């Protein structure tokens, strides 16, 4: 990599970041409106999420020690760094470096920063929330990685943009949604876990542990956490679109797929109640993992869907 | 030269304040202190009949995240201490909305031995909502008043509390008495 490539890559990455922020924040507001309509309400304006984030950034923020303040920065930086690597349509900031495992590792930096910062606030509910978030992460990462590893074995590449390109060869018939239907179901359930949507909302649980890790955040720090939340949703949904729905070539295709996945996840979340944390783990280690292993065996031994 | 820069700085600050007020007025997160009976009117105001989310309002779980503290009805001397803790934990700018007659003059509890009569002596109140209990229409109207107050700078309770802290503090101690805490953090 020479200097020129690094500069172009960074610039592309920054453009992807701005796009991710504007797009995902708008979509979150639109989803709030859709959910409102489902409950026979008007719902907020579609740009409500922007107003929330900017309001929080104009408020004062108290600190609970340098671990707390530094952890927020580390979390936001880690997640933004991860988002820069994400292939969007045909743009990849750092070609050849968009390996699946990059996301697993870099995403953990953000998660650990958040865990550090939340525990640094000293509130016991934050500690409980972080413990639940990390426990849930252990739950969904295993089935998700089994499916992804089967996919990597089948297609012979671990690069997300190449995995997306393989699926664009023959229209819908070559999407992993059709080639590996069981794996896609597992992927969607794990996506619900990653997003913290309702059946797997254990670590937020506002009525039970007062919004878990976020319990001591207010003002600027909470605004940064909301930014982080938008970026992490962007990473998770884009990863799902790239891995299972054949990525996207045009803007329209990307928008349709992304909106479909995110709105479906939000509506599923509206219809369900919340699991307890032990139920989450028991659930993930029973059905998704069995289906994931079945899908992996089909790909490896029968060679279907490759 | 110097005055020009100061003038420009002032204008910039005012512009920034104006933008901040726009965002604050349209995104109010509530912390509900629901020990009084007026709290029963909040579910209607929040759900599909009156839909508070239209105004950008929503419930929050902890004082640190919230902008508006709703005191729904009477406050006993014991709960007043908790309300003060919650209000002081909120990050500025913060607003306080009082429901019904009890925070104004005690309401039907005006002669009760364990209930405070005037909330305004202990914490700055931005909006009072009339009615015993206030109907959801009145609640929505009160929130609209708060939004207007934020826009035209009249809802400045947090500034009053900061400027007259000695006076508020004196009243709080008179009513509640000094608190002596004995644990490992305070020795």
Boundaries of every domain in chain A:
3-302
Output the six-digit token pair for B18. 């104006």
Domain that holds residue B64: 28-176
CA–CA separation, A241 vs A259, rounded Å?
10
pLDDT digits (tens, 9 = 90+) for A164-210: 888 887 777 778 877 888 989 999 999 999 888 888 888 888 778 88
Give the CA distances from residue A217 to residues A17, A152, A206, A237, in Å, rounded to whole numbers and listed in that order. 24, 40, 14, 26
Query: Contact, A82 vs A103, CB < 8 A?
Result: yes
Please check whether residue A122 touches B, CB under 8 A.
Answer: no
Query: Contact, B138 vs B171, CB < 8 A?
Result: no
Cβ-proximal residues to B177 (8 Å cutoff; 6+ apart), any chain: none
Q: Give domain status of residue B17, yes or no.
A: no
Q: Which residues in chain B have their CB less than 8 angstroms from residue A41's CB?
A: 47-48, 51, 53-54
Q: Which residue of A has its CA nearest to B29?
A: A52
Q: Give domain status of residue B182, yes or no.
A: no
Domain count, chain B: 1
Q: Give domain status of residue B21, yes or no.
A: no
Q: Give domain status of residue B10, yes or no.
A: no
Q: Give domain status of residue B4, yes or no.
A: no
pLDDT for the residue A220: 87
pLDDT for the residue A29: 92
The CATH number for B136's domain is: 3.40.50.12280
End-to-end CA distance of chain B: 54
- CA A77 to chain CA mean position, Å: 15
pLDDT digits (tens, 9 = 90+) for A253-280: 888 999 999 999 999 988 888 888 889 9
ipTM: 0.84
Output the six-digit token pair for B25. 């007025």
Query: Contact, A145 vs A186, CB < 8 A?
Result: no
Q: How many CB atoms lie within 10 A of CB B15?
A: 10
Please check whether residue A52 touches B, CB under 8 A.
Answer: yes
Query: Contact, B23 vs A51, CB < 8 A?
Result: yes
Q: Give domain status of residue B112, yes or no.
A: yes
Predicted confidence (pLDDT) at residue A11 exceeds the cutoff of 80: yes
Determine if residue B73 is left, alpha or beta; phi over 0 gives left, psi from -120 to 50 gives alpha, anything else beta: left
Residue B70 β-bridge partners = B32, B97
Predicted confidence (pLDDT) at residue B138 exceeds the cutoff of 80: yes
Q: How many CB atoms lie within 10 A of CB A65?
A: 12
> Inter-chain contact B92–A52, Cβ cutoff 8 Å?
no
- CA A152 to chain CA mean position, Å: 20
Cβ-proximal residues to A92 (8 Å cutoff; 6+ apart), any chain: A12, A98, A161
Output the six-digit token pair for A223. 């605004």
Mutate to test the interface with A, among B31, B61, B136, B150 (most CBs of A within 10 A): B61
- In this prediction, residues A293-301 reach a mean pLDDT of 89
Q: Give domain status of residue B135, yes or no.
A: yes
| Residue B183 DSSP code | S
Ordered alpha helix ranges (H), B99-135: 102-105
Give the CA distances from residue A278 to residues A139, A201, A208, A291, B37, in Å, rounded to whole numbers and listed in that order. 10, 13, 15, 20, 37
Q: Give domain status of residue B165, yes or no.
A: yes
pLDDT digits (tens, 9 = 90+) for A80-103: 988 888 888 777 777 777 888 888
Please check whether residue A72 touches B, CB under 8 A.
Answer: no
**pLDDT-based confidence at A31, cuts 50/70/90?**
very high
């Amino acid at each position: 990599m020479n200097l020129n490539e690094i500069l172009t890559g960074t610039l592309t990455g920054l453009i992807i970041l701005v796009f991710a922020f504007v797009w995902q924040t708008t979509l979150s507001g639109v989803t709030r409106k859709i959910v409102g309509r489902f409950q026979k309400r008007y719902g907020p304006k579609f740009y409500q999420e922007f107003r929330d984030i900017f309001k929080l950034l104009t408020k004062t923020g108290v600190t609970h020690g340098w671990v707390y303040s530094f952890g927020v920065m580390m979390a936001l930086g880690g997640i933004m760094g991860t988002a820069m690597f994400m292939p969007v349509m045909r743009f990849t900031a750092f070609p050849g470096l968009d390996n699946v495992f990059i996301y697993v590792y870099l995403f953990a930096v953000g998660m650990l920063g958040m865990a550090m910062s939340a525990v640094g606030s000293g509130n016991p509910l934050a500690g409980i929330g972080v413990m639940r978030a990390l426990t849930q992460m252990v739950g969904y990462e295993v089935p998700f990685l089994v499916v992804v590893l089967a996919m990597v074995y089948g297609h012979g590449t671990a690069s997300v943009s190449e995995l997306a390109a393989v699926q664009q060869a023959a229209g819908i018939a070559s999407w992993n949604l059709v080639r590996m239907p069981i794996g896609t179901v597992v992927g969607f359930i794990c996506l619900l876990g990653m997003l913290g949507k309702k059946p797997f909302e254990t670590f937020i649980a506002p009525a039970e542990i007062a919004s878990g890790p976020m319990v001591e955040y207010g003002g600027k720090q909470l605004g940064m956490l909301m930014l982080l939340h938008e970026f992490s949703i962007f990473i998770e949904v884009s990863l799902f679109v790239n891995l299972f729905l054949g990525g996207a070539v045009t803007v329209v295709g990307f928008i349709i797929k992304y909106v479909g996945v995110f709105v479906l996840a939000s509506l599923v979340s509206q219809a369900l109640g919340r699991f307890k944390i032990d139920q989450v783990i028991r659930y993930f280690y029973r059905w998704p993992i069995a289906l994931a292993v079945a899908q992996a065996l089909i790909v490896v031994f029968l060679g279907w869907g490759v | 030269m110097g005055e020009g820069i100061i003038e420009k700085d002032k204008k910039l600050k005012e512009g920034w304040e104006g933008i901040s007020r726009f965002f604050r007025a349209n995104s109010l997160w509530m912390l509900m202190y629901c020990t009084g009976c007026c709290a029963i009117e909040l579910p209607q105001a929040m759900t599909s009949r009156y839909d508070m989310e239209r105004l950008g309002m929503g419930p929050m779980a902890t004082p640190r995240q919230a902008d508006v503290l709703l005191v729904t009805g009477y406050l006993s001397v014991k709960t007043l201490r908790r309300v003060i803790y919650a209000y002081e934990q909120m990050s500025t700018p913060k607003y306080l909305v009082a429901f019904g007659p009890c925070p104004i003059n005690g309401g039907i509890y005006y002669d009760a031995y364990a209930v405070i009569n005037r909330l305004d002596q202990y914490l700055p109140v931005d909006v009072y909502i009339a009615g015993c209990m206030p109907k959801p229409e009145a609640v929505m109207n009160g929130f609209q008043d708060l939004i207007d107050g934020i826009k035209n700078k009249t809802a400045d309770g947090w500034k009053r509390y900061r400027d007259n802290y000695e006076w508020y503090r004196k009243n709080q101690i008179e009513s509640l008495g000094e608190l002596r805490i004995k644990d490992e953090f305070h020795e």
